[in-house]
Chain A
Amino acid sequence: MPTVSMTVNGKSVSRDIEDRTLLVEFLRDHLGLTGTHVGCDTSQCGACVVHIDGKSVKSCTMLAVQAEGVTVTTIEGLATDGKLHPMQEAFREHHGLQCGFCTPGMVMSAVDLVKRHPNPSEETIRHGLEGNICRCTGYHNIVRAVQAAATNMRG
């Protein structure tokens, strides 16, 4: 079994795993980081989105061994010192979630989007979240949350 090492939410981790282990399985089953969700097996729903070296990817569509040596941030790594990230705070404030299943992936995608587009239009937000499916909200409040977070993050 190969050994894989990477940095996850600021900590170095190293485990022996099967070659076929998906990154999302590594995070959830080997590291116990169950904030990252699995919502489909067709790479379409985005519930599993994490950041690899700052870029959003679907952790269900990457092997853990492909992530050798990289820096991973999951939803558990966004808050600092017990204080929610502005994107998490905006989802709470603007009711950007109902059941919450899509939310970790939605928030991770939105953080990446705002990094690339600090002042996104509604269209940019909707286009930028095409990889994330929500069955509950109808997206309206998600868009409002991302707009509000972008404003707060610009400071």
Chain B
Amino acid sequence: MYNFTYHRASSVSDAAKLLGQDAESKILAGGQTLLPTLKQRLAQPSHVVDIGGIGELQGIKVSADKVVIGAGTRHAAVAMSAEVARAIPALAKLAGGIGDPQVRNMGTIGGSLANNDPAADYPAAVLGLGATVHTNKRAIAADDFFKGMFETALDDQEIITSVEFPVPQKAGYMKFPNPASRYAMVGVMVAQTKAGVRVAVTGAGPSVFRWQDAEKALASKFAAAALDGLAAKADGLNSDMHGSAEYRAHLIGVMARRAVAEAG
């Protein structure tokens, strides 16, 4: 690992100030992506600004129509929250399936979204539930947030502060985990929301995306059988040592049907 200067931020504005001092500085949240990256010398930040101790970024607020999660909230806290499990069970389940217990004790929702790994779980929740990502500068709708492989709408040094999930009528999440890493080979979030049916797919393509054919089919009838005969296209999907694009396209259909069945 290349050396850097470490700073511990006391508040979001303090973090913004520390980051602003140098264009090569980087935010550290749970470290479960950044530290492996630094260990491999794939990045060389001059300054590392630790936001892990900032109180205003922690916590979960559940009200009748929304769940708001602070960006610094650990995956384990979301997974174990009885309130989240009551309001959006699919979200608590998704958080409980990220990586392993040690990753969940450190990793944060803000870090996962900022990183936008093509196989990460939270992007499927944010896009599938039509959430809003709040930063220290603005609010970004899910449909505008994810821009491509490891790319988001965030400016350099913009800090995610919280994520606001509208409570859906029903939602279900299913992933086929890579047995070694637990990242999604394919993960599908389906949701019946006030704004219509949403189906978000992670793991399969360069970035999370909506499967619109499935949304249309489920809008006429929200049941697994509505997806019978519908196949996702393999064009543009990921092909790697773990599975071909055709295999992933097939998994999308299977996971989507199981997610609908789970949503009930």
- Residues of A at under 8 Å CB distance from B? 2, 18-20, 22, 41-44, 46, 49, 55-58, 60-63, 65-66, 68, 109, 112-113, 128, 130-132
Contacts and interface: CB of A to CB of B under 8 A. Distances in A.
A14 B36 CA distance: 26
Interface string B1-27: 111111010000000000000000000
Nearest to B96: A127
Contacts of B226: none
Contacts of B101: 56, 109, 112-113, 128, 130-131
Interface in B167-199: 180-182
Interface size class, chain B:
20 to 34
A20 B31 contact: no
29 contacts: A2-B6, A20-B2, A20-B3, A20-B4, A20-B38, A22-B39, A42-B36, A43-B32, A44-B181, A55-B76, A55-B105, A56-B101, A57-B102, A57-B106, A58-B103, A60-B39, A61-B35, A63-B6, A63-B28, A63-B31, A63-B35, A65-B50, A66-B31, A68-B8, A109-B101, A128-B101, A131-B100, A131-B101, A132-B100
A60 B18 CA distance: 26
Contacts of B99: 130-131
Contact of B35 (A49, A62, A113): A62
B89 to A, nearest CB: 18
Interface string B91-121: 0000000011111011000000000000000
B102 A19 contact: no
A46 B102 contact: yes
The listed residue with most B CB atoms (<10 A of its CB), out of A20, A49, A112, is A20
A131 B102 contact: yes
A119 B50 CA distance: 37
B48 interface: yes
B56 to A, nearest CB: 19
Nearest to B39: A41
Contacts of B100: 46, 130-132
Contacts, number: 77
B203 interface: no
Given A109-B101, A130-B182, A61 B36 contact: yes
B105 A62 contact: no
Contacts of A113: 101
Contacts of B181: 44
Given A19-B3, A42-B36, A46-B102, A61 B31 contact: yes
Contacts of B6: 2, 19, 63, 65
Contact of A62 (B2, B31, B182): B31
Interface in B23-51: 28, 31-32, 35-36, 38-40, 48, 50
A101 B102 CA distance: 18
Contacts of A132: 100
The listed residue with most A CB atoms (<10 A of its CB), out of B1, B3, B100, B105, is B100
Contacts of A63: 6, 28, 31, 35, 48
B166 interface: no
A56 B101 CA distance: 8
Contact of A58 (B4, B5, B50, B102): B102
A61 B106 contact: yes
B52 interface: yes
Nearest to B99: A131
B246 to A, nearest CB: 28
Nearest to A64: B6
A59 to B, nearest CB: 9
A58 B28 CA distance: 16
The listed residue with most B CB atoms (<10 A of its CB), out of A19, A43, A130, A131, is A43
B94 to A, nearest CB: 15
Contacts of A128: 101
A62 B106 contact: yes
